[in-house]
Homo-oligomer: A and B are copies of this chain.
Amino acid sequence: MAVSMMIDVQSQPGSGMDIDKVGICDLSYPIEVLDKAQEKQHTIAQINMYVDLPRRFKGTHMSRFIEVLNLYRAEIMVNNMGEILREIASSLEARSAHMELSFKYFLEKVAPISKARSLMGYDCRFIGAYAQQGDEDFILEVRVPVMNLCPCSKELSETAAHNQRSEVTVKLRYKDFVWIEEVIELIEKSASCDLYAILKRPDEKFVAERAYDNPRFVEDIVRLIADNLMKDKRVLWFSVKSINYESIHNHNAFAFIERDKRS
């Protein structure tokens, strides 16, 4: 087989327009991320990797994305995202590169009364972009399941108040480093109560009462978190979204705040 004679269809002159993003998506790959205790955490990422494609090129070289990924997969961290993105752009001869890594991140939690230990998994995402003219962009996304209890329902009745699982998603751009662990803590403290994989009966009592003492509308949760992110000087831009899986409806309640502190 004469590989060298193969026509390089991808490099032939293309007709048409510049493409904003071209690449691969929905790739499952095992990676290792750095956690706060300075140790690596093994996890599995869903990965998207894109570059731009100027009009003169017909196609990009999809296999090179995986080659770059193979170089870095044992050491993916916030600190080297810029390096990885420049390597993608360089390897694919592109002017810009994007990468999205979605992964579960586990922390050990200690039940409030029994002190029983268990792991909680959080859906995190690194969204990075690089452009040749010098711009780098990095967004940290953290999704945290929490409990919330309806203040209106608490007011309406002496005995009961509907509560449910909610999912709060925070996205951040920052100038000084913010740990995933800090974002998780902010979200969990802003909710009616945080969640645990293991709760013994005294913990269950504590958790239900903590939620009752901290009722939160979906509006309250996003406002409390946004208030804190406004005050945090490291944060340049953020969005906060909460989806409450209402126990009294078959649809969900939703609230969203986005602020750009740079403008």
Docked-complex contact B58 and A217, CB < 8 angstroms:
yes
Q: Does residue A180 face the partner (Cβ distance < 8 Å to B)?
A: no
Docked-complex contact A254 and B211, CB < 8 angstroms:
no
Q: Is chain A's interface secondary structure helix, strand, loop, or mixed overall?
A: mixed
Q: Does residue A246 face the partner (Cβ distance < 8 Å to B)?
A: yes
Docked-complex contact A6 and B202, CB < 8 angstroms:
yes
Docked-complex contact A257 and B19, CB < 8 angstroms:
yes
Docked-complex contact B251 and A25, CB < 8 angstroms:
yes
Q: Does residue A132 face the partner (Cβ distance < 8 Å to B)?
A: no
Q: Does residue A178 face the partner (Cβ distance < 8 Å to B)?
A: no
Question: Which residue in chain B gives the minimum CB-CB distance to A120?
Answer: B250
Question: Which residue in chain B gives the minimum CB-CB distance to A200?
Answer: B63
Min CB distance, A197 to chain B, in Å?
5
Task: Provide the residues of chain B in CB contact with A91, threshold 8 Å.
Answer: none
Q: Which residues of chain A (30-71) have a CB below 8 Å from chain B?
A: 30, 42-44, 48, 50, 53, 58-60, 62-63, 66-67, 70
Docked-complex contact A255 and B22, CB < 8 angstroms:
yes
Which of B151, B164, B254 is A21 in contact with, Cβ under 8 Å?
Answer: B254
In the bound complex, how far is the Cα of B218 from the Cα of A128, in angstroms?
Answer: 23
Q: A63-B200, A227-B16, A256-B21 are in contact. Are A155 and B222 (CB under 8 A)?
A: no
Docked-complex contact B165 and A66, CB < 8 angstroms:
no
Q: A160-B211, A163-B162, A207-B248 are in contact. Are A202 and B1 (CB under 8 A)?
A: yes
Question: Which residue in chain B gives the minimum CB-CB distance to A197?
Answer: B66
Task: Provide the residues of chain B in CB contact with A24, threshold 8 Å.
Answer: 249, 251-254
Docked-complex contact B212 and A159, CB < 8 angstroms:
yes
- Which A residues form the contact surface with B (CB < 8 A)? 1, 3, 6-7, 9-10, 14-30, 42-44, 48, 50, 53, 58-60, 62-63, 66-67, 70, 104, 106, 113, 116-121, 145, 147, 149-153, 155-157, 159-165, 193, 195-202, 204-209, 211-212, 217-220, 222-224, 226-227, 230, 243, 245-259
- Besides the known contacts A16-B224, A149-B160, 14 further A-B residue pairs in the complex with CB atoms under 8 A apart: A3-B201, A9-B152, A9-B217, A15-B223, A17-B226, A17-B257, A18-B257, A19-B223, A29-B197, A30-B42, A62-B253, A159-B212, A208-B248, A247-B247
